[in-house]
Amino acid sequence: MSKVYVLLIFFLFQSFFGAAQVGSSLKHAMGAFNADDQLRFATAGLYVIDASSGSVVFQHNAKTGLAPASTEKVITAATALELLGADYTYQTRFGIVATPKGKSLYIEASGDPTLGSWRWDATKEDVVFAAIKKAVKEQGVTELGSIIINTKNWIKDDGLPARWTWEDIGQYYGAGSQGLNWRENQFDLIVKSGPAIGDPVTILRTKPFLYNYKIVSEATAAGKETGDESALYYPSKGDAFSVLKGTIPAGKNEFTISGSIYDPARQFAHSLRDELKGTVLVKDDIQITSKTHREVTWIYTHQSPTLSKIVFWFLRKSVNLYGEALLRTIALKTSGEATTEKGIEAVQNFWEDKGIDKEELHLYDGSGLSPQNRITPHAEVMVLKYAKTRSWYDDFYEGLPLYNDMKMKSGTINRVKGFTGYQKSKSGKAYIFSMLVNNYNGSQYGLIRKMYKVLDHLK
């Protein structure tokens, strides 16, 4: 028997024995975790595989569908990178068209979720405005009949997935994806609270200024150590105002609450019209249309960062808007219709072709904000395993945050906590895992520490 053959047998045995040891320790750790009082009425799932061989190290409720919260983002990100490409960019085009009311500024939207974002220098609102203003000025245009925004195949709606909760959609993290997104569809509401508990909360201003939009405050002051317990409620269709409810601490002269912009396309157009003052006069109203003008003199194209860079912030800072935009972009590429439903269908079909049952990916959005999403730990691990084989893996891996000294995406919604990612042990063994917990009770912080205690067995 050759030395090479003997060594191979030795390393295979060592690998098998090591995996068995980790599996055994995870079994005991998961048993103690499930017996904890916080898990009395909860369901927890854990699936761990050897990253090199793909063999199962440990599984508990691995194929039980659980609410994934933001761990779902690894699926949307991997699908987008594969179907759109890591170098994909959104192109928002600006041009001049002739209309009955004279020349108009024509904008062809692309669904770009980064337009006006503060995360890159080239996407910041003042940079975008300056480029448009320069391009219009170079055409010698001094008057525009109107600003026309063509949303093309992006259906004109509020961009909100059907199963998001009413309490979430008014907040900054509940911004829907539309044909033209602006400033990540976020604004800051600056308010003031009275000195005593129960005093009214007064609205001071918004940043930026919101056009044709009103916010009514029904919020009150609470104890000084209570924190932000407020919620902005999105306007009903046809209304031009939203309502602030809940409480903020008493005695705050300027307190910031971040909300979602209801109509980002019109907000952008109004802001642009004001920016053009002094150089170009915009005489008529703003128009949102899906009608394409054939004869356009294109004057400027704004290009987004590459998809790999968008995915970095999508995973690292869990930007829900990016997930919904990516899902709709996937839909546009695969079906020609930029809808959430078509995007979900495309995601399910893609992963079914890779061996993941569609019923393991019961989705309602692309970000994980819907409490009705159901994904199995097995499905998440299979997606992460596939990602390791792709050319875009390094970008994908870099985007994953670091928690507990482990490279993993977290997820949090009401009574839901999850972690999914990659871990290399001290011995050099690489693992891929997903751990999801639904309907726990008590402190989230306490639960996280207990989840870390289980996952520490992979170190």
* Whether residue 285 is found in the same domain as residue 385: no
6 domain-assigned: no
- Give the per-residue pLDDT at 156: 65
Report the C-alpha dihedral over residues 207, 209, 214, 216, rounded to 10 degrees: 30
313 and 262, same domain (yes or no)? no
**Ranges of the chain with pLDDT below 70:** 1-19, 156, 236-239
CA 353 to each of CA 78, 383, 457: distance values in angstroms, whole numbers, following the listed order: 14, 12, 33
CA 167, CA 210: separation in Å to the nearest integer? 21
pLDDT over 70 percentage in the chain: 94
- So what's the pLDDT on residue 13? 47
Q: Look at residues 278, 303, 328 and tell me which one is the last residue of a structural domain.
A: 303
Instruction: Answer whether residue 3 is part of any domain.
Output: no
Q: Is residue 380 part of a domain?
A: yes
Instruction: Identify whether 412 is part of a domain.
Output: yes
Let me know whether 315 and 233 are in one domain. Answer: no
3-state helix/strand/coil string of 145-160: CCEEEECCCCCCCCCC
Residue 40 lies in a domain: yes
Q: 3-state class of 144 per DSSP?
A: strand
Residues 71 and 146 in one domain: no
pLDDT score recorded for residue 294: 82
> What letter does residue 304 receive in the DSSP assignment?
P
Residues 266 and 214 in one domain: yes
How many folded domains does the chain comprise?
A: 2
Answer yes or no: do 225 and 287 share one domain: yes
Q: What is the pLDDT of residue 6?
A: 45
Same domain, yes or no, for 361 and 437? yes
Q: What pLDDT does residue 392 have?
A: 98
pLDDT tens-place string over residues 12-65: 445 555 568 999 999 999 999 999 999 999 999 999 999 999 999 999 999 999
* pLDDT given for residue 18 in this prediction: 58
9 within domain boundaries: no
Residues 33 and 98 in one domain: no
Under the phi-then-psi rule, with left for phi > 0, alpha for psi from -120 to 50, and beta for the rest, what region is 185?
Answer: left
pLDDT for 153 equals 81
202 and 72 fall within a common domain: no
Let me know if residue 299 belongs to a domain. yes
Q: Which of 443, 372, 357, 390 is nearest to 72 (CA)?
A: 372
DSSP bridge partners of 95:
106, 298
Q: Identify the pLDDT of residue 101.
A: 82
- Same domain for 204 and 296, yes or no, is yes
Does residue 365 lie within any of the structural domains?
yes
* 217-247 confidence digits (pLDDT tens): 999 999 988 999 999 998 866 567 899 999 9
Residue for token pair 């990016």: 322
**Segments forming the whole domain that contains residue 55:** 17-86+308-458
E strand or H helix that includes residue 454: helix 444-455
Domain boundary among 271, 303, 335: 303
